[in-house]
Chain A
Amino acid sequence: MKKRYLYLLLLPGVLFLTIFMIIPILLTIGTTFFTESGFSIQGYLDFFRDRYFIEILLTTLRVSLFTTIICILLGFPAAYYISKLKQRKKVIMLLLTIFPLLTSPVVRSFSWMVIIGKNGVVNKLLMGMGLIEKPLDILYTPTAIIIGLVHLFLPLIIVTLVGVMENIETDLLKAAESLGASRLAVFSKVIIPLSVPGLVIGSILVFVGSFTAYTTPALLGGKQRVISTFLYQNAITLNEWQVASIVATIMIAVTVLIISIMNGLAKKLNPKG
């Protein structure tokens, strides 16, 4: 194969992404370090002194962390159960998991507005049972965002974990049990460690996804801003493009940081080395 042809095949795609993605992204990052008087990180210094912004950043990180933890707690046992099912049942369960994943985030967030709103299903039910006297304010709070995000990303972690757990040899579990390990010991000493790579990948997907999600916080968060809605607000409503560029750069930096930390962790924890 002549090198020329190889380059010819790759060139259109590489050029396209460079012009329409890499350059715009690099320019977005680049402009945040330059003012009229040259190189400066003043924009960032002002930013991290702003209590309002710090609050938004912390809320976003907290929401993403809770979402990830809840997804793991709900997803891990469910994935384990699914991975043990017979092929036919497993396929059905996986199809049911993937279906919400492919359904529009607008639809999924809207469904939660119907459920946790003031006149929503949950409030009507609780009031009907006489457990509460006036409707709970769940919608438009960080809790609402977390519920929506867990709903958004739970399928992702289940699917990822099932993929990994399927590859754990049943013989290995039988061997452990025949050597006298209790079920709990098998679970904590064999299944959990062997699932770690999947758990790490799943957690990255959920955390980064929650940190950067727009639709769900925009619909369920109301006035409660997270970093993505803050970026959009600065870009569109306030026309503060310089501020928006700084927020965008911080989002890219956090995303890259999380992915590299977790990747390092995955390498360390992977029992196969």
Chain B
Amino acid sequence: MQEKNRGLALFTLLVFLFLLGPLLIISVTSFEGGNILKFPPEEFSLRWYENIFNVEMFLVAFKTSILVSLGGNLLALLLGVPAAYALSRYDFKGKSVINAFFVSPILIPGIVLGFAFLRYIVGTYQLPIYAALFVGHTVIMLPFIIRVISSSLSNFDFSIEEAAESLGASKLGTFFTVVLPNIKSGILAAVMIAFLESFNNVDISVYMTGPGVSTFPIQMLTYVENYFDPTISAISVLLMFITAFFMFIVERLMGLSYFTKR
């Protein structure tokens, strides 16, 4: 029995080596002092981290990504919070259909969604690329916002809300003073998960590039196609730091349950 567990432990260790090894290797290559990406690096240097800030296109794309993710997040919250509230608070006919409807952007292949955006939202609706990018990101963030906030609302005791109302508070007043403060950690977690989803998105953004408009991951793809130096390694390390930080916060706010329930 003990022996079998040892075998299983070794197997799991190898699986994790496979999962995390590449991320470790890429991190190490970011400290290379030479011009070519190598593993192991021959001399230590931080010059490629400096280089990120010298490449103008990365700075512009980073700004675009941040603005699109934050703006899209805000719009997704404005659309998603009322929907999540209605879905958690009330029973009504067709509820499961509406629920499925709000999750549907996840089910449609991203690369197909991006193409449909390009053809109809940029093409037929004549939205400028920047606006289309923003709307596209809102669409993919909406399901995450609704899901996380719904699960946060499912832990909320709605009788508190009824108590406030019976004491004379208005419907809207109750929502802002009783419901919202109670689910604020859920909202923050939703925002962070949606942000990561949008910030890392390639499938939709890859179609929405124009003069001066490109998101950060798309700029990375373009860079990798043309250069093979440790700049991307250095960027990867920075992105991993951001990911780890967000994960830490989400874990604090919601626990791991968000990630393990599907």
A binding-site residues for B, Cβ under 8 Å: 1, 3, 5-6, 8-10, 12-14, 16-17, 20-21, 23-25, 27-28, 74-75, 77-78, 80-82, 91, 93-108, 110-115, 119-121, 124, 151, 154-155, 158-160, 162-163, 166, 183, 201, 205, 208, 211-212, 214-215, 218-219, 228, 231-232, 235-236, 241, 244-245, 248, 251-252, 255, 259
Contact = CB atoms under 8 A, between A and B. Distances in A.
B148 to A, nearest CB: 14
A75 B19 CA distance: 11
A183 B243 contact: no
Contacts of A114: 22, 25-26, 29, 37, 39, 233
Nearest to A229: B111
B83 interface: yes
Interface of B: 1, 4-5, 8-9, 11-12, 15-16, 18-20, 22-23, 25-26, 29, 37-39, 78-80, 82-83, 85-87, 89-90, 92, 98, 101-102, 104-105, 107-113, 115-121, 124, 135-136, 138-139, 142, 146, 171, 196, 199-200, 202-203, 206-207, 217, 220-221, 224, 228, 232-233, 235-236, 239-240, 243-244, 246-247, 251, 256, 259-262
A162 B5 CA distance: 17
Given A21-B104, A78-B12, A102-B243, 12 more contacts: A3-B92, A13-B80, A14-B98, A74-B18, A97-B19, A99-B240, A104-B239, A105-B202, A154-B19, A158-B15, A231-B111, A252-B112
A13 B147 CA distance: 13
A74 B110 CA distance: 26
A48 to B, nearest CB: 19
B243 A103 contact: yes
Task: Specify which of A98, A162, A201 lies most central, judged by the most chain B CB atoms within 10 Å of its CB.
Answer: A98
A186 B109 CA distance: 39
Contact of B109 (A1, A98, A162, A212): A212
Contact of B207 (A91, A102, A119, A235): A235
Tell me if B's interface is mostly helix, strand, loop or mixed: helix
B111 A151 contact: no
B176 to A, nearest CB: 14
Contacts of B25: 111, 114-115, 121
B177 to A, nearest CB: 18
A202 to B, nearest CB: 8
B92 A6 contact: yes
Contacts of A97: 19
B23 A212 contact: no
**Interface pairs A-B: 10 shortest CB-CB:** A212-B109, A111-B22, A24-B120, A9-B86, A24-B116, A111-B26, A9-B82, A163-B260, A13-B83, A107-B236
A103 B239 CA distance: 7
Task: Specify which of B92, B236, B251 lies most central, judged by the most chain A CB atoms within 10 Å of its CB.
Answer: B236
A100 B19 contact: yes
A1 B102 contact: no
A8 B138 CA distance: 20
A81 B239 contact: no
Contacts of A163: 260-262
B139 A212 contact: no
A248 B83 contact: no
Contacts of A12: 78-79, 82-83
Given A114-B26, A159-B260, A81 B8 contact: yes
A16 B79 contact: yes
A68 to B, nearest CB: 16
Nearest to A74: B15
Contacts of A3: 92
A219 to B, nearest CB: 7
A236 B261 contact: no
Contact of B260 (A78, A94, A201): A94
A91 B235 CA distance: 28
Given A20-B135, A183-B4, A82 B12 contact: yes
Contact of A24 (B15, B22, B117, B142): B117
B105 A151 contact: no
A208 B130 CA distance: 29
B115 A235 contact: yes
A94 B89 CA distance: 32
Nearest to B102: A13
A98 B239 CA distance: 15
B110 A214 contact: yes
A83 B237 CA distance: 30
A145 B14 CA distance: 20
A104 to B, nearest CB: 4
A241 to B, nearest CB: 6
A57 to B, nearest CB: 14
B109 A91 contact: no
Task: Specify which of A10, A218, A245 lies most central, judged by the most chain B CB atoms within 10 Å of its CB.
Answer: A10
